[in-house]
């Protein structure tokens, strides 16, 4: 993909990132609700260790990728032959499929908590490759990234073709968005990036000076939405927000600009 947003690859990988509390999970949840209506086969990856997407969607998983990693490491330590190693590598795909939670045309995969001490790099590489292979079986993959820029620094999000960088109207949010844009330009210069402004109540930093930093400029603004806030307070799944919700309508327009 050349980053223009005009091509239509067989499958898309979209990463949503931004500072903590900016509204990344809200955006991904509302995108999921719109996609449920279309029946499009979509893989949602909750890459935030706090598992906020699981709560927002009202879903539970039996196993996370972090737990799969620990299981693979335990088995790897008992490996005696090359045949055993090949069999273990081949079983990772099965483990991932077992960890998927499905709802309509949506499939959800939770990454779980970050790696602790004693990084086992070969296993991490196998898992990353397996997730990339898994994503090719879906029309669209959306990644709800962890807060800040660490995952981009570690290049965890490989093969992403579109980045939606979320900010609230605070200066810190916009500055974090700028840093993320700079990193994407270094690590993934051919991908498309766009800015999404959450809780756009007309106060705070003006986005005009930041828009040129993104290849697709400002994708849209998600307004303050009392109904969404009520759902959040009551721990109700955001998938159940009605189509008349101002936030849902705004996200639908954002997705249209992304060609989703």
Residues 185-218: tens digit of each pLDDT: 888 888 899 999 998 876 667 777 788 889 899 9
- Computed on alpha carbons and rounded to an integer, the radius of gyration of the chain in Å comes to 18
DSSP track, 87-143: HHHHHHHHHHHHH-EEETTEEEEE--SPP-SS--HHHHHHHHHHHHHHHTTSSEEEE
* pLDDT the model gives residue 154: 60
Residue 120 lies in a domain: no
In this prediction, residue 228 carries a pLDDT of: 92
pLDDT of residue 69: 81
Position 162 in a domain: yes
* Tokens linked to 63: 């196993």
Q: Which domain holds residue 49?
A: 12-59+103-112+134-257
Nearest 5 degrees, angle CA 235-CA 237-CA 240?
130
Residue 205 CA to residue 198 CA, distance in Å, equals 12
Distance, in Å, from the CA atom of 49 to the CA atom of 146, rounded to the nearest integer, reads: 7
Residue 66: inside a domain, yes or no?
no
Residue 117, CB-side half-sphere exposure with 13 Å CA sphere: 0
Task: Specify the residue for token string 């499939």.
Answer: 107
Q: What CATH number does residue 235 fall under?
A: 3.40.50.300
Q: Within 10 A of 154 (CB to CB), how many other CB atoms are there?
A: 10
- pTM listed for this prediction: 0.84
pLDDT at 211: 85
Asked if residue 166 is part of any domain, the answer here is: yes
Instruction: With beta carbons less than 8 A apart as the criterion, state whether 238 and 26 touch.
Output: yes
Q: Is position 20 within any domain?
A: yes
Q: Is residue 98 part of a domain?
A: no
Conformational region of residue 82, where left means phi above 0, alpha means psi within -120 to 50, and beta covers everything else: alpha
pLDDT of residue 193: 92
165 part of a folded domain: yes
- Report the pLDDT value the prediction gives residue 2, as an integer from 0 to 100: 37
Q: Are strands 106-110 and 162-167 parallel, antiparallel or unpaired?
A: unpaired
What letter would DSSP give residue 218?
E
For the chain, what is the domain count?
Answer: 1
CB 3 within 8 A of CB 191: yes
Query: Is residue 37 in some structural domain?
Result: yes
pLDDT of residue 148: 65
Question: For residues 239 and 59, is the Cβ–Cβ distance under 8 A?
Answer: no
Token pair of 218, please?
């400002």
User: Any idea what the Cα angle at residue 41 is, between residues 89 and 129, rounded to 5°?
Assistant: 20
Give the chain's residues under pLDDT 50. 1-9
């Amino acid at each position: 993909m050349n980053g223009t947003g005009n091509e239509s690859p067989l499958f898309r990988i979209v990463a949503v990132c931004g500072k903590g509390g900016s509204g990344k999970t809200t955006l991904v949840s509302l995108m999921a609700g719109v996609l449920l209506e279309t029946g499009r086969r979509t893989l949602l990856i909750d890459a935030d260790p706090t598992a906020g997407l699981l709560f927002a969607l009202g879903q539970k998983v039996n196993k996370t990728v972090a737990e799969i990693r620990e299981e693979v490491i335990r088995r790897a330590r008992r490996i005696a032959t090359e045949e055993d190693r090949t069999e273990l590598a081949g079983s990772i795909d099965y483990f991932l499929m077992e960890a998927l939670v499905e709802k309509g045309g949506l499939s959800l995969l939770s990454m779980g908590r970050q790696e602790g001490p004693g990084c086992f790099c070969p296993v991490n590489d196998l898992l990353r490759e397996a997730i990339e292979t898994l994503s090719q079986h879906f029309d669209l993959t959306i990644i709800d990234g962890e807060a800040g820029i660490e995952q981009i620094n570690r290049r965890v999000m490989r093969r992403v073709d579109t980045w939606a960088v979320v900010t609230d109207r605070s200066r810190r949010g916009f500055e974090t968005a700028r840093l993320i844009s700079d990193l994407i330009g270094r690590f993934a210069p051919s991908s498309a990036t766009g800015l999404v402004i959450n809780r756009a109540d007309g106060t705070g930093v003006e986005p005009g000076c930041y828009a040129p930093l993104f290849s697709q400029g400002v994708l849209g603004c998600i307004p303050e939405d009392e109904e969404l806030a009520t759902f959040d307070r009551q721990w109700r799944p955001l998938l159940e927000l009605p189509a008349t919700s101002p936030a849902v309508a705004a996200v639908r327009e954002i997705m249209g600009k992304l060609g989703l």
